[in-house]
Amino acid sequence: MHTEITFRMAAEKDLESIVAMLADDVLGSERERYEHPLPTSYLKAFEAITSDPNNELVVACAGKEVIGVQQITYTPYITHQGGWRATIEGVRTSASVRGKGVGTELIKWAIQRAEVRGCHLVQLTTDKNRPNALRFYEKLGFKATHEGLKLKLNLLTS
């Protein structure tokens, strides 16, 4: 990319751009609700994330345009001698910049944040239906060392 990428904590005004990026792929289009106005569940989640000192919702910007997003959650563990971990989730880039290094810069930024926060490990998950994402993360040094499991609960959101 020719434009300098900057990173900052997301603001409420960024929610529409964030949800648009989350919804702009095959999997996201099935689970997100990008509509006007946005469902209140997104604002509630944003408020919960931004009020928690162990969560960061980070946007990548080119000028004033939001072109990427990721959430970083910091978790203390009893294992690994009481070490902290950073979990990266919800990584998306705008379709206009995919393949131009924005995702790489997002992940590198998250790793640096984890180091600053004293984490001993950075972890993430990617859907098995995203083989390109798995290859992307492996190129950045991540290794598929564990099998992740999820149990979807049928909770309604507004």
Supply the pLDDT for residue 95. 85
Per-residue confidence (pLDDT) for residue 131, from 0 to 100: 87
Q: What is the reported pLDDT for 32?
A: 77
What pLDDT score was predicted for residue 33? 80
Instruction: Give pLDDT, residue 157.
Output: 55
Q: What per-residue confidence (pLDDT) applies to 2?
A: 60
Residue 137, classed as helix, strand or coil, is: helix
Task: Give the chain's domains with CATH numbers.
Answer: 5-139 (3.40.630.30)
pTM, entire model = 0.89
| 151 CB-contact burial (10 Å; exposed 0-12 / middle 13-18 / buried 19+) | exposed
Query: Dmax of the chain from CA atoms?
Result: 47
**25 burial class (0-12, 13-18, 19+ CB within 10 angstroms)?**
middle
pLDDT of residue 149: 85
- Res 26: pLDDT: 75
Mean pLDDT by 10 residues, the chain (158 residues): 85 94 80 84 95 98 95 95 95 89 95 97 90 91 89 73
Closest CA to 59 of 16, 8, 22, 1: 8
pLDDT score of 3: 73
